[in-house]
Structure 1
């Protein structure tokens, strides 16, 4: 660890990350790229003049901080003079090129596309395309060019508290607009893609079509496409849920685990080359070339590119065979990736990959030394357990923060799945090649399909052991941060037991406990009234500390609503109670009046209530306002949009506050 802290690129990486975060979250630099370049040039000259003094170190740190700012500012497509949104008018025609085929939703096929042209203006920028499933018989392919009228709309914010923020997720990929269209509104201009990725996509499609000629089941084909070709679009929801519950969802996305196994297999197969002169160099070149061939075949997705860059660096580190070479190669690969794609920093996969690998590199050797089995098979099993434990320790806090669950049987999952994964990946390359050449023997189809089926059944069995799946765990960012501090302090104390490290460990535990008690105190003080957004239904909550009273019109189905689960986890709600929606609700000194299809509101002595309109009541809103003089009128997601627009206009006319959950999201009153 001390040698890593003395590794200069590690310092550069830290300040690069600081610059990226600073610009991304504050957007404080808005003075142009030229000025930033001039500042960096000036710092470079000063650094050169004082290169033999301590000032050089501070100038280097500041320079990489500014480079981080430059990467975010310069990479923001919306600031480009030819960003497509700046040229949109109601009658615009747009030419788009398909960049990526996404997993379909319930009602739409989804694609990412680059906006090449608006009318006659060449443009830049990317959009999300949603095409109705009923209106198109075949998929678009990467590289296809399409023409459509201006149907661009901004991507909405999440409408309920602690809901997954899809707008923020797409913004990190440079997408701020989307298109909803039918087949009749699209015109395919060109299917003859000349791009490299288009050529690879066409080659991958031929491989997929060749596999479909053989007697593989749908789930077997879906797993093969995911693990060997990086295409997860065909994986069923049931299969995805099983892998998630078993703690094995990570194997469905080609990432560090897959590339690491491929690197290990290549190193084993090509080891005889080391006997020859220059054999190690030849082996390294072949390994790196094959890893990048696999990345290209898998579609060069962000996760694959990250993993192959990372493990190419590890292969180079192994070649030099020096102490700390692997750690330094990892640091360099992270530094290089962030220079090329700074928004990778906010990608969950990027964070998990590097934390898992660093956990394995630093922690696994220590765990492995605790016991030395005499027998080969037991030794290999012990290695898998220590690797799984080290990786899980590296990602546990951040996994709890993002996913709020912990699979208790991850030992068993990894002990079973990793050998299967090695077999599937190793044999799969042969299966792909033989199927592409149409010479794949039937017995190999049966054996390979059987291996995948056994894996799926084992995962389904583990997933059914729900008693070992700990879910809906509330874990805040500050808890995540200090839990890593506890893990590091504990590990350092385990390596060397002295008074200084003991103090560090117990101090970290004390800080973590303080955070826990502070959050608990803050939760108990928090009281609020929430009108959630739910299409076609009404859900209202009154939160008092860690208790949530839920009023709804959904019977028992309300307990399965994700919006309530997200709120419960995000706000650390410990207790819930469900009741039917009343007509009146007492909220401290304020009355909440619910008006449904019956349209009843003629109540005596009721003045200045909060009015919640639900299920599209046919009322004269102007008369209601004159009679009740409400403090605010709320329209939830159960109302027709045409009614909501009319009510909004009436409230604007009479200067009454109006809130539509469909437009503004959940209404929250503290």
Structure 2
């Protein structure tokens, strides 16, 4: 009898439930530890009883499920660094205006911005106190100084800054993104404020980063164009810092972003290549064991050099399990393999569950496993090439169906020409990777520039040009598709019932399809009612400009002072439209007075004119730094709140805030507290 009488898939689902519960509740580590130990003991007792009676009991299964859920809650508490006594959040005063002496160890280099080099660093000491915890370090770019290597310890005179939530509705929540990586503060500084102390004993990641940087330096000596070199580094080494925004958007809009991010596709191809390369070992005694060992060592070595990012980690873990099954002749099921890899990864870091890449990669593979066998037999040709093309199309469609609802929820777009990219590139991606690794070998050996480098550069250039062409077919790129979480779940339920019906065309399964369609229609109706019954007025935050939105049902009126170029490329409005399912948006210039239901908003601009009003406004918006006596204004108009947007000077905002504090009147600066919303 097996220790657990439940499939690994069910246990993984229970672990996921536990992680979600742990992230949404505030159980202490000791509470979850005691609960997990008690449940584990109960599970073992029930296992022993059922084993002695040679009979399965429902209690054993129940306790096994509860134990796995409890373990999920436990590992969330264990991996949350804020629960540790020495975390810097328990000691540092964010309101302290003075700089602290902070000792950091560089952990990882991030993609730089226009003005800053960015890093993830571990805090070792703040002033005289030994603490720990991860922060994001932003260092102003300086042409005279190079980037800080991984494992370097530095002393920096600066302040910790608390992470800020998004300032506008439906904006990307970078604060939550960093907190999911256990980063709870950031430091902004420059090279003049830091001192390099020493290089610590190199960590595994630091050693791998040194090798990667050495390879990159070698590649930079050859005549690759900047975009070609950026893609080569991303494709072969997982180094995406040099990918330009335009190039990244071309790959994303072409539905080929998975080409740039080393993931399951790359690791799977590398596994096939290594399996073929070491195939001769099968002839020898213990050859399969040696072959498997070599493959695993090389897979994980590549993963380390490529940065061991979450996408690489999950792909390497998954295909390591596949490698065992392939080479040790163990029977394996793809869904069980996926579940094992997910279970192991979530035990290592439960916060992987909340990463978009983790969710999309597993759903894509699940889509392929479930849907591809159904699509493949639909078309058969008498020739090999058309069959291979159809198989590639079927795989691409299956993966897209698997990720479609979640992709719409996160990105609100659908690249309908994704199949062109996949059919043309994926068949030769193995060749591109193999050729690329050979080019790296030649570069490491300091081989002089020759025709092989030119050919490889041409191949990468052609691939970039293809994706750029596909991305610019805007008629086939559907953007700004509204989707929320309950509609995404409803869409998944509908997809699953349809798949189940085509697997077994039974009356009950057809009934389930019809019920799921009905449920989705109900969700759409509920969503429409929610949108149309929800009205609000929003003072958005926009640096140097003013932006006010009034939402009535699915109609939006935007009042602004933006020029046409900024207005066209403004994500603030687009995010709000998509998030609120807006169907019609009208634009207008700013007026002095707005009425929303029974509330009045008075806008005072740089002219500072507000006298002779025949009403008392509920809210006053100060914009373009008006020179006014705020105390006199408050006494005259008696508002319930003073609002300042991003168009004001910071010195004015500080003075207004102090005045409102003295008068005990709410003051809302959108640059700190985010958009002001009147329901």
Q: Which category of TM-score, normalised to the shorter sequence, fits these structures?
A: over 0.9
Q: For residues 186-230 of structure 1, what are the alpha-carbon distances to aligned partners after superposition, in whole Å with 9 as ceiling and x for unaligned?
A: 111124652121111111111111111111111111011101111
1:56 equivalent in structure 2: 60
State whether structure 2 residue 71 is matched by structure 1 residue 72. Answer: no
- Preserved contact between residue 95 and residue 117 of structure 1 (Cα < 8 Å): yes
The worse-fitting range, judged by mean Cα deviation, of 581-590 and 543-552 is: 581-590
State whether structure 2 residue 525 is matched by structure 1 residue 517. Answer: yes
CA shift, 1:235, in A, is 0.7
Q: Distance in 1 between matches of 2:586 and 2:630?
A: 33
1:99 equivalent in structure 2: 107
Q: For residues 76-119 of structure 1, what are the alpha-carbon distances to aligned partners after superposition, in whole Å with 9 as ceiling and x for unaligned?
A: 11111111233336564221111110001122110001112233
1:431-470 → structure 2 map (5 Å cutoff) = 431-439=439-447, 442-470=450-478
- Preserved contact between residue 136 and residue 183 of structure 1 (Cα < 8 Å): no
1:668 equivalent in structure 2: 677
The worse-fitting range, judged by mean Cα deviation, of 608-617 and 174-183 is: 608-617
2:405 equivalent in structure 1: 397
1:28-47 → structure 2 map (5 Å cutoff) = 28-29=27-28, 31-32=30-31, 35-36=34-35, 38-40=37-39, 42-44=41-43, 46-47=45-46
Q: For residues 470-528 of structure 1, what are the alpha-carbon distances to aligned partners after superposition, in whole Å with 9 as ceiling and x for unaligned?
A: 00001111111121111111111112211011111111111111111110111111100
CA shift, 1:265, in A, is 2.6
2:642 equivalent in structure 1: 633
- Preserved contact between residue 193 and residue 199 of structure 1 (Cα < 8 Å): no
State whether structure 2 residue 168 is matched by structure 1 residue 160. Answer: yes
Q: For residues 306-364 of structure 1, what are the alpha-carbon distances to aligned partners after superposition, in whole Å with 9 as ceiling and x for unaligned?
A: 11101112223334667752221111111111111111111111111111111112211
CA shift, 1:11, in A, is 2.0
DSSP-derived class of the 1:633 partner: strand
Q: 1:135 and 1:43, CA in 2 relative to 1: closer, same or farther beyond 3 A? A: farther
CA shift, 1:645, in A, is 1.7
2:178 equivalent in structure 1: 170
State whether structure 2 residue 119 is matched by structure 1 residue 111. Answer: yes
- Preserved contact between residue 158 and residue 189 of structure 2 (Cα < 8 Å): no
CA shift, 1:165, in A, is 0.4
State whether structure 2 residue 259 is matched by structure 1 residue 260. Answer: no
DSSP-derived class of the 2:147 partner: coil
CA shift, 1:46, in A, is 3.8
The worse-fitting range, judged by mean Cα deviation, of 123-132 and 412-421 is: 412-421
DSSP-derived class of the 2:614 partner: coil
Q: Distance in 2 between matches of 1:565 and 1:242?
A: 20
Task: Decide which of 244, 247, 250 is 2:252's aligned counterpart.
Answer: 244
Task: Decide which of 389, 399, 417 is 1:381's aligned counterpart.
Answer: 389
Q: For residues 265-309 of structure 1, what are the alpha-carbon distances to aligned partners after superposition, in whole Å with 9 as ceiling and x for unaligned?
A: 333444454455544444333332221121011011111111110
Q: Distance in 2 between matches of 1:277 and 1:386?
A: 40
2:345 equivalent in structure 1: 337
- Preserved contact between residue 317 and residue 325 of structure 1 (Cα < 8 Å): no
The worse-fitting range, judged by mean Cα deviation, of 430-439 and 50-59 is: 50-59
TM-score w.r.t. length of structure 2: 0.94
1:210 equivalent in structure 2: 218
1:649 equivalent in structure 2: 658
2:243 equivalent in structure 1: 235
State whether structure 2 residue 308 is matched by structure 1 residue 300. Answer: yes
1:563 equivalent in structure 2: 572
The worse-fitting range, judged by mean Cα deviation, of 439-448 and 618-627 is: 439-448
The worse-fitting range, judged by mean Cα deviation, of 126-135 and 29-38 is: 29-38
Q: 1:154 and 1:50, CA in 2 relative to 1: closer, same or farther beyond 3 A? A: farther
Q: 1:51 and 1:664, CA in 2 relative to 1: closer, same or farther beyond 3 A? A: farther
How many residues of Structure 1 are paired with residues of Structure 2 in the alignment? 666
The worse-fitting range, judged by mean Cα deviation, of 239-248 and 192-201 is: 192-201
Q: 1:555 and 1:480, CA in 2 relative to 1: closer, same or farther beyond 3 A? A: same
Q: Distance in 2 between matches of 1:30 and 1:346?
A: 21
RMSD: 2.0
State whether structure 2 residue 549 is matched by structure 1 residue 544. Answer: no
State whether structure 2 residue 86 is matched by structure 1 residue 82. Answer: yes
1:11 equivalent in structure 2: 10
Q: Distance in 2 between matches of 1:491 and 1:13?
A: 22
State whether structure 2 residue 592 is matched by structure 1 residue 593. Answer: no
Q: Distance in 2 between matches of 1:257 and 1:435?
A: 25
DSSP-derived class of the 2:223 partner: coil
Q: 1:457 and 1:6, CA in 2 relative to 1: closer, same or farther beyond 3 A? A: farther
Q: 1:276 and 1:380, CA in 2 relative to 1: closer, same or farther beyond 3 A? A: farther
- Preserved contact between residue 431 and residue 440 of structure 1 (Cα < 8 Å): no
CA shift, 1:149, in A, is 2.4
Unaligned runs of 5+ in 1: none
Unaligned runs of 5+ in 2: 52-56
Q: Distance in 2 between matches of 1:256 and 1:530?
A: 43
Q: For residues 457-476 of structure 1, what are the alpha-carbon distances to aligned partners after superposition, in whole Å with 9 as ceiling and x for unaligned?
A: 11111111000000000111
1:191-210 → structure 2 map (5 Å cutoff) = 191=199, 193-210=201-218
2:19 equivalent in structure 1: 20
1:151 equivalent in structure 2: 159
Q: For residues 386-439 of structure 1, what are the alpha-carbon distances to aligned partners after superposition, in whole Å with 9 as ceiling and x for unaligned?
A: 111111111111101111000010111111221343222111111111100112
Q: Distance in 2 between matches of 1:50 and 1:658?
A: 66
DSSP-derived class of the 2:135 partner: strand
Q: 1:437 and 1:148, CA in 2 relative to 1: closer, same or farther beyond 3 A? A: same
2:54 equivalent in structure 1: none
CA shift, 1:16, in A, is 1.0
Q: 1:668 and 1:64, CA in 2 relative to 1: closer, same or farther beyond 3 A? A: same
TM-score w.r.t. length of structure 1: 0.96
DSSP-derived class of the 1:202 partner: helix
Q: 1:212 and 1:121, CA in 2 relative to 1: closer, same or farther beyond 3 A? A: same
DSSP-derived class of the 2:378 partner: coil
Q: Distance in 2 between matches of 1:183 and 1:311?
A: 42
DSSP-derived class of the 1:548 partner: strand
CA shift, 1:43, in A, is 3.1
Task: Decide which of 302, 306, 320 is 1:312's aligned counterpart.
Answer: 320
The worse-fitting range, judged by mean Cα deviation, of 273-282 and 371-380 is: 273-282
Q: 1:537 and 1:20, CA in 2 relative to 1: closer, same or farther beyond 3 A? A: same
Q: 1:76 and 1:51, CA in 2 relative to 1: closer, same or farther beyond 3 A? A: farther
CA shift, 1:44, in A, is 4.7
Q: 1:44 and 1:120, CA in 2 relative to 1: closer, same or farther beyond 3 A? A: farther
Q: Distance in 1 between matches of 2:91 and 2:259?
A: 43
The worse-fitting range, judged by mean Cα deviation, of 539-548 and 496-505 is: 496-505
Q: 1:271 and 1:507, CA in 2 relative to 1: closer, same or farther beyond 3 A? A: farther
CA shift, 1:250, in A, is 2.0
1:570-581 → structure 2 map (5 Å cutoff) = 570-581=579-590
Q: 1:33 and 1:14, CA in 2 relative to 1: closer, same or farther beyond 3 A? A: closer
Q: 1:195 and 1:403, CA in 2 relative to 1: closer, same or farther beyond 3 A? A: same
- Preserved contact between residue 356 and residue 392 of structure 1 (Cα < 8 Å): yes
Q: 1:626 and 1:109, CA in 2 relative to 1: closer, same or farther beyond 3 A? A: same
